[in-house]
C-alpha cells in the first residue's frame, strides 16, 4: 500500500482523529443496510448488517458474486467510518458486503453474560462458517483493529482449515500484540483522549450487563477503573474465561500465531499508529509465507485519509478490498 498522508494532516493522532470525525466516507449517499438477527450457538444473538441495493440484478447472480465480511473494531459498528467506506467500495465493485456485529455492538444489549473480546476466534469461526454455508460465491473477510486481531487469531488457530471457509483475510490497524497496544493506549495523550472515549461507552454497557446478570463482576471496582488494563482485569478477562488482563492479552494476541496462517492474508499497519507501537509489529520472520505485510509510514489508526480538506477515507478500502477480491479470481 503506497499510502502518503496529505501535508495538511500531519502526525499519527491527527491522522486517526480527523478521518473518523470529518473525512468523507462515501462518494455520494451513505450506505443503506438491511439487518438480520442471527441466533448464536449459545442461545444469544448477533446482528448482521448487509449492504442493500448494491447486489446484481437477480438473487442468483448475487449469490455468485464475492462477499466481503467485516469484523469491526472496539466499540465499532456498521456506522463506523471505515465500515461505511468499505460499503461504498463494495457498491462500486458490485459485490456483496456485510458487517457482523460483535455482541452488544449493534445498538441492543445481548442476552448472555458474555460480550466480546480481542481474541474471540470461536465467535469468528461460527460466523464465517455460517456466511460460507449461506453464500455460493467466494467469501473474504476483513477485520479492523480489534476485529483484525480476532480474525488473524482465528486464521492462525484453524490453520489449513481456513481455506475451506474463506478465500483470503485481511486486517487493518490490528493490535496484534495486545500487551504492547494496551500499554500504549494507557499512557499520555492516548490515555487522556482514546482511553476516555472507549470507557465512555464500554463502562455503561458493562453496568447494564451487571444489571442483567447480577454478581457477574465487581461493580464498584468497575466504576473506579481508569484505563483499559483495569477494565479488562475487572470485566473482559474474568467474564470470558481469562485469569486477568495479562493472561487475556497474552492468549488473545494474534502475533504468536501468524506463522500458522495457511491462506492468503494481508496485514496493514501504519508505522505512526498511536495505538500500535511500530516496534511491536510483525516482520517477515514472524509470519507465514502466505502473509503479506503492508506497513506505510503514515495513516494513523484506521485513518488513511487522502485528498483536499476535509479529505476522504476511500484509499484504504480500495487497496485492501481490491487485494482481497484478487485472491478470489
Domain ranges of the chain: 12-177+254-326, 178-252
Catalytic entry in 118, 273, 280, 314: 273
Cis bond before residue 24 (omega within 30° of 0)? no
User: Rounded to 5 degrees, what are φ and ψ at 155?
Assistant: -60, -40
Q: Are strands 265-268 and 291-294 parallel, antiparallel or unpaired?
A: parallel
Stated length of the chain: 329
Cβ(258)–Cβ(152) under 8 Å?
yes
Which among 26, 145, 280, 314 is annotated as catalytic?
145
**Residues 95, 68 contacting (CB under 8 angstroms):** yes
**pLDDT value at position 28?**
80
Q: Indicate if 301 belongs to the active site.
A: yes
> Is 276:265 a contact under the CB 8 Å cutoff?
no
Active site residue 80: no
Matching CATH number, 12-177+254-326, of 3.40.50.11890, 3.40.50.20, 1.20.1530.20, 3.40.50.1820:
3.40.50.1820
Indicate the pTM of the whole model.
0.96
User: In the chain, how many H helices and how many E strands?
Assistant: 13, 8
Q: For residue 174, give the 3-state DSSP assignment.
A: coil
User: DSSP readout, 178-234?
Assistant: HHHHHHHHTSHHHIIIIIHHHHHHHHHHHHHHHHHSTTSS-HHHHHH--SHHHHIII
Helix (H) or strand (E) holding 68: strand 67-71
Start-end of H helices in 213-313: 219-224, 228-231, 237-239, 245-252
Residue 142: strand pairing partners: 70, 170
45 burial class (0-12, 13-18, 19+ CB within 10 angstroms)? middle
CA torsion angle 306 180 261 298 (round to 10): 20
pLDDT at 56: 47
Catalytic residue, chosen from 72, 81, 117, 301, is 301
Query: What is d(CA 208, CA 205) in angstroms, rounded to the nearest whole number?
Result: 5
Mean pLDDT, each 10-residue run in order, the chain (329 residues)? 94 98 91 97 98 60 86 98 98 96 97 97 98 97 98 98 98 98 96 97 98 98 97 98 98 98 98 98 98 98 97 97 97
Nearest partner of 246 among 233, 262, 255, judged by Cα: 233
Q: Are 174 and 203 in contact (CB under 8 A)?
A: no
Q: Is 218 a catalytic residue?
A: no
Burial (0-12, 13-18, 19+ Cβ within 10 Å), 109:
middle
Q: Distance between CA atoms of 263 and 284, rounded to whole angstroms?
A: 16
Cβ atoms < 10 Å from Cβ of 85: 27
Amino acid at each position: 500500500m503506497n499510502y502518503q498522508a496529505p501535508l495538511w494532516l500531519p502526525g499519527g493522532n491527527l491522522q486517526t482523529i480527523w478521518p473518523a470525525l470529518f473525512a468523507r466516507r462515501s462518494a455520494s449517499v451513505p450506505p443503506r443496510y438491511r439487518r438480520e438477527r442471527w441466533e448464536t450457538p449459545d442461545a444469544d444473538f448477533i446482528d448482521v448488517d448487509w449492504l442493500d441495493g448494491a447486489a446484481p440484478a437477480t438473487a442468483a447472480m448475487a449469490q455468485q458474486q464475492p462477499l466481503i465480511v467485516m469484523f469491526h473494531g472496539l466499540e465499532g459498528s456498521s456506522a463506523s467510518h471505515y465500515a461505511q467506506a468499505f460499503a461504498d467500495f463494495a457498491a462500486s465493485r458490485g459485490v456483496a458486503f456485510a458487517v457482523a456485529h460483535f455482541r452488544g455492538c449493534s445498538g441492543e444489549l445481548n442476552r448472555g453474560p458474555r460480550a466480546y473480546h480481542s481474541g474471540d476466534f470461536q465467535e469468528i469461526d461460527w460466523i464465517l462458517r455460517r456466511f460460507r454455508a449461506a453464500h455460493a460465491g467466494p467469501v473474504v473477510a476483513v477485520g479492523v483493529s480489534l476485529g483484525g486481531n480476532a480474525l488473524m487469531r482465528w486464521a492462525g488457530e484453524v490453520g489449513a482449515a481456513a481455506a475451506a471457509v474463506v478465500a483470503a483475510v485481511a486486517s487493518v490497524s490490528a493490535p496484534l500484540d495486545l500487551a504492547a497496544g494496551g500499554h500504549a493506549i494507557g499512557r499520555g495523550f492516548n490515555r487522556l483522549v482514546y482511553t476516555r472515549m472507549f470507557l465512555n461507552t464500554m463502562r455503561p454497557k458493562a453496568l447494564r450487563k451487571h444489571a442483567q446478570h447480577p454478581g457477574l463482576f465487581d461493580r464498584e471496582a468497575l466504576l473506579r477503573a481508569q484505563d483499559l488494563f483495569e477494565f479488562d482485569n475487572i470485566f473482559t478477562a474474568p467474564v470470558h474465561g481469562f485469569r486477568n488482563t495479562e493472561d487475556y492479552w497474552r492468549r488473545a494476541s494474534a502475533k504468536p500465531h501468524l506463522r500458522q496462517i495457511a491462506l492468503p492474508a494481508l496485514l496493514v499497519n501504519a508505522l505512526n499508529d498511536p495505538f500500535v507501537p511500530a516496534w511491536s509489529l510483525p516482520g517477515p520472520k514472524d509470519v507465514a509465507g502466505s502473509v503479506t505485510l503492508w506497513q506505510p509510514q503514515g495513516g494513523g489508526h484506521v485513518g488513511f485519509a487522502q485528498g483536499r480538506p476535509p479529505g476522504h477515507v476511500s484509499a484504504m478500502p480500495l487497496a485492501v478490498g481490491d487485494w482481497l477480491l484478487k485472491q478470489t479470481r
